[in-house]
Amino acid sequence: MKRQTMAITIITEAILLSMLLYSIFQWRTYWISTLVLSQVLMLVPLALEARKVILLPWPVVLGAALSLLLHGLGLVTEWYYTVFWWDKLTHMTSGVVLSTLVAIEVLLLDLRTESIKIPSIWYLMIIPIAILTLEGIWEILEYIIDVVLGTGMQHGLTDTVNDIVSNLISGIVGGIGVFLYLRRRSVDEFVSSLEAERLERWFVRGFGRGSRL
């Protein structure tokens, strides 16, 4: 395991745990459930690496950690209610992380299978569309959770639209970043560094054999 990923995970888990203990002391059930879920999500990169599915670059892990910490901090400080731009910040941060993950998956599909070939300029559309799709699913889940559990995740139509716009901006930024990366850097070396042999085998079985590298 990379030392950077392990260090990021340990520090993030410690901070999330402190927020969780504070939430338990305040007995805010929504905070508690959210922070427990955040701690589980923070372990996903290490689990994927341990099972030899994929080795996520440490900047991606750092971005995920920052996203989870900002969300947790917004809850326990109630900045979601008192700082008008906090919600936009958390959505844009998580959107950039999701954009990177989408790009990684599409790159693996593109470079490790013969049946798929994606021009680099298409990433300008693929990533924003993927992020909008994920955001739409998330907003539906928020609505369902609010109705079933009586939480207050949604704050009206304006809040929902702001969330969608924030993620759209992050998706556009992510798409431009990937497009520029593909024009200037060695994609072969990057994909090889992911050590995603198991994931690549899944893609090959699903979409065709071989590689164009």
- Residue 187 covered by a domain: yes
- Residue 199 covered by a domain: yes
- Residues 106 and 15 both lie in one domain: no
* Mean pLDDT score, 121-132: 88
Residue 20 contacts residue 35 (beta carbons within 8 Å): yes
pLDDT in tens, 158-205: 778 888 888 888 889 888 888 887 777 767 777 777 877 766 666 656
- Model confidence at 67, pLDDT cuts 50, 70, 90, reads very high
- Residue 53 covered by a domain: yes
Alpha carbon of 153 to those of 31, 119, 195: distances in Å?
A: 11, 38, 37
Can you tell me the distance from the alpha carbon of 129 to that of 141, in angstroms, rounded to the nearest whole number?
A: 19
> Alpha helix (H) ranges present in 43-185?
44-50, 58-76, 79-82, 86-112, 123-149, 157-184
Encoding tokens for residue 145? 């959770």
Q: Could you give the percent of the chain with pLDDT greater than 90?
A: 27
- Residues 142 and 206 both lie in one domain: yes
- Residues 41 and 99 both lie in one domain: no
Can you tell me the distance from the alpha carbon of 37 to that of 12, in angstroms, rounded to the nearest whole number?
A: 13
Residue 143 belongs to domain spanning = 84-213
What pLDDT score was predicted for residue 42? 95
- Residues 98 and 202 both lie in one domain: yes
Question: How many domains, in total, are found in the chain?
Answer: 2
pTM for this predicted structure: 0.81
Whole-angstrom Cα Rg for the chain: 19
- Residues 38 and 121 both lie in one domain: no
Encoding tokens for residue 167? 């993620």
- Residues 119 and 212 both lie in one domain: yes
- Residue 71 covered by a domain: no
- Residue 201 covered by a domain: yes
- Residue 66 covered by a domain: no
Q: DSSP assignment of 121-150, as one string?
A: GGHHHHHHHHHHHHHHHHHHHHHHHHHHH-
What region, left, alpha or beta, does residue 110 occupy, with left being phi > 0 and alpha being psi -120 to 50 degrees?
A: alpha
- Residues 35 and 105 both lie in one domain: no
Burial class (CB in 10 A: 0-12, 13-18, 19+), 196: buried
Residue 74 contacts residue 86 (beta carbons within 8 Å): yes
- Residue 76 covered by a domain: no
**What single-letter DSSP state applies at residue 120?**
G
- Residues 94 and 52 both lie in one domain: no
Q: How many residues does the chain have?
A: 213
User: Higher confidence at residue 209 or residue 145?
Assistant: 145
- Model confidence at 37, pLDDT cuts 50, 70, 90, reads very high
The position carrying tokens 């440490």 is: 58
Encoding tokens for residue 158? 């304006």
What region, left, alpha or beta, does residue 54 occupy, with left being phi > 0 and alpha being psi -120 to 50 degrees?
A: beta
What pLDDT score was predicted for residue 23? 95
- Residues 105 and 205 both lie in one domain: yes
